Amino acid sequence: MADEQLKQEIADYVDRVWEDVIVDIEKLVQIESVENLAEAAPGAPWGPEPKKGLVKALEIAEGMGLDAHDCEGYIGYADLKGETDDYLALIAHSDVVPVGAGWTVEPLRVTRKDGYLMGRGVLDDKGPLVLSFYTAKFFAEKGIKLPYTLRIIVGCNEETEMADVEWYNEHYPQPAFVFTPDAYFPICYGEKGGYTAVIRSADVAGGKIVNFDGGIADNAIPNLATATVRANAADLKPTDRIEVEDAGDGLVKLTAHGIEGHASKPAGTINAIGLLVDYLLDNDLCDEGEREFLELDRIVLSTTDGSSLGIDTADPYFDPLTCIGGTMRTVDKHFEQTIDARYPTSITSDEITERVGKLAAKYNATVECYIDLVPFVTDPESSPIQTLINTYNEATGKNAKPFTMGGGTYARHFERAASFGPNDPELKNPDWVGGEHSADEGVSEEQLKKSLGIYILAVSRLMQSDLRA
């Protein structure tokens, strides 16, 4: 009976606060909290906009009666003090990837449309961050001390290097358990390794190709790429995905339109960089040195399972390796193509660098890895994981099982952690709703409401369990 009463209290609370939830999501979405290290400063190590996002998030938390702390701008947290300093944490982030092109709604506002919220960050991860605050607010309103301290950690460097959480772990003790609302239900107990590298050409750019600019983030398949070339526009034919525009002075601007998506889920995407590389090669819009690198890039971008690079592999825990090209730029006199691989335990980052490096060397190019996150797995039979999966199944009437994934979240940085919603893999969004890192990013409003109820119930049960068992 007590459990049924708690569920009813949660349902009533969610209905009561929901419009406030939307208001607070809007406050964060209005801030274009994209990393800008060129303007980093003391107290704002990731740049001014991530700092603004962090400050606003902590301001929201403080207004709920939580004890909020800005940790020198690296990260922040807000506590609901419990009976012990040992703590249960939820961690979400207030930074976002760049807005990019192709939006049909205002990206820095929350648009409510046919049951969906749209705007940069509503799904990844400002909306879920606000849900975390309201989860804590539910218990704060009760005015009782929980067995563990409840801490909401506010990251602001998740979309690039996750250096914020590395800083946190150097300065604060590990939580007894932590989950992040930055992935999918039912519950993810393991994540592939994350590998990001740049493939750099010799000094060959600047012949026929004046400029190449594709993609906005290393960890996303780009939907847009442009190149300015020395050519006659009248000699070039557009395609269904390539625009041809006379740029004057013997120059032509080429624009490729692909289908974007997250690096960990390349199925169904079309890489705009790959489209443009193919067009340049097929129409001889490159000199000898440029062609050499473009031929390499064609190989790099021709598959998303790493098979063209000799790194395709799988293991018992994870789906097969994925590898995509995220951005392509002309820098000084060379090309720089970034790749993002999500790898299982059956390969290492050193092996990836070695194999891709051998291929690149044949084309007078080099490979430099600058992000490597090793795979992690949390025991799926541990008490917290079982508590979360049982809570989810009870709330939804499902019989779902814990899973692993290729996406990278904060969970991999902690000793005992998982990612827990709010996405539902069975929920099919309309075509006009984009995913995380995409134009017209959106999320079902009803799904967020259900998630808030699940989070509150899950935290209540975690508080009554042995988080270290």
Task: For the chain, give the percent of residues with pLDDT over 70.
Answer: 100
Quick one: 352 and 396 in the same domain? no
Whole-prediction pTM value?
0.75
On the CB side of 43, CA atoms within 13 Å amount to 4
Among 315, 340, 373, which residue terminates a domain?
373
Residue 82 in any domain: the answer is yes
Quick one: 388 and 254 in the same domain? no
Residue 199 in any domain: the answer is yes
Quick one: 140 and 228 in the same domain? no
Domain of 220: which CATH number?
3.30.70.360
- Quick check: 260 and 223 in contact, CB under 8 A? yes
Quick one: 385 and 368 in the same domain? no
CA–CA gap between residue 128 and residue 424 (Å, rounded): 13
- Quick check: 467 and 176 in contact, CB under 8 A? yes
127-131, 248-252, 314-318: the lowest-pLDDT one: 314-318
**Residue range 213-224, pLDDT digits in tens:** 999 999 999 999
Among 373, 396, 430, which residue terminates a domain?
373
- Quick check: 303 and 322 in contact, CB under 8 A? no
The count of domains in the chain is 2
Q: What is the mean pLDDT of residues 62-90?
A: 98
Residue 108 in any domain: the answer is yes
Cβ atoms within 10 Å of 399's Cβ, excluding its own = 8
Quick one: 211 and 197 in the same domain? yes
Among 335, 350, 373, which residue terminates a domain?
373
**Residue range 368-425, pLDDT digits in tens:** 999 998 999 888 999 999 999 999 999 999 999 999 988 778 999 999 999 999 999 8
CA–CA gap between residue 467 and residue 469 (Å, rounded): 6
Interacting residues of 462 by C-beta distance below 8 A, sequence separation 6+? 88, 177, 384, 387, 388
Quick one: 257 and 113 in the same domain? no
- Residue 129's pLDDT is what? 98
Quick one: 256 and 182 in the same domain? no
- Quick check: 256 and 279 in contact, CB under 8 A? yes
Residue 328 in any domain: the answer is yes
- Residue 22's pLDDT is what? 98
- pLDDT category, 233, cuts 50, 70, 90? very high
| Tokens (6 digits) for 436 | 């995380």
The amino acid that residue 100 corresponds to is G
Q: What is the mean pLDDT of residues 57-85?
A: 98
- Burial state string for 259-282 with b = 16 or more CB within 10 A and e = fewer than 16: ebbbbbbbeebbbbbbbbbbbbbe
Interacting residues of 288 by C-beta distance below 8 A, sequence separation 6+? none
Q: What is the mean pLDDT of residues 252-263?
A: 96
Task: Give the angle subtended at the CA of 60 by the CAs of 173 and 134, to the nearest 5°.
Answer: 75
Residue 469 in any domain: the answer is no
**Nearest CA to 246 among 233, 237, 228?**
233
**Bridge partners, 342 (sequence order):** 194, 322
3-state secondary structure 397-454: CCCCCCEEECCCCHHHHCCCEEECCEECCCCCCCCCCECCCCCCEEEEHHHHHHHHHH
- Three-class DSSP category at 97: coil
DSSP for 276-345?
Answer: HHHHHHHTT-S-HHHHHHHHHHHHHHS-SSSGGGT-----SSSPPPEEEEEEEEEETTEEEEEEEEEE-T
Residue 242 in any domain: the answer is yes
- pLDDT category, 3, cuts 50, 70, 90? confident
Residue 468 in any domain: the answer is no
Q: What is the mean pLDDT of residues 116-138?
A: 98
The burial of 330, by beta-carbon neighbours within 10 Å (0-12 exposed, 13-18 middle, 19 or more buried), is given as buried
Quick one: 242 and 368 in the same domain? yes
Residue 63 in any domain: the answer is yes
Omega into 422 within 30° of 0, i.e. cis?
Answer: yes
- Residue 2's pLDDT is what? 67
Omega into 332 within 30° of 0, i.e. cis?
Answer: no
Query: At residue 149, does pLDDT exceed 90?
Result: yes
Q: What is the mean pLDDT of residues 440-465?
A: 97
Cβ atoms within 10 Å of 425's Cβ, excluding its own = 11
**Nearest CA to 54 among 150, 138, 136, 125?**
125
Interacting residues of 380 by C-beta distance below 8 A, sequence separation 6+? 189, 386, 402
- At residue 86, what are phi and psi to the nearest 5 degrees? -60, 135
Query: At residue 77, does pLDDT exceed 50?
Result: yes
Quick one: 323 and 415 in the same domain? no
CA–CA gap between residue 451 and residue 442 (Å, rounded): 15
Quick one: 163 and 76 in the same domain? yes
**Bridge partners, 35 (sequence order):** none
**Residue range 348-369, pLDDT digits in tens:** 999 999 999 999 999 999 999 9
**Residue range 11-53, pLDDT digits in tens:** 999 999 999 999 999 999 999 999 999 999 999 999 999 999 9
Quick one: 395 and 359 in the same domain? no
Domain of 59: which CATH number?
3.40.630.10
Quick one: 303 and 357 in the same domain? yes
* Averaged confidence pLDDT in the chain: 96
Query: At residue 469, does pLDDT exceed 90?
Result: no
- Three-class DSSP category at 347: coil
Residue ranges making up the domain that contains 309: 193-373
In angstroms, how far apart are the furthest CA atoms of the chain?
79
- pLDDT category, 1, cuts 50, 70, 90? very low
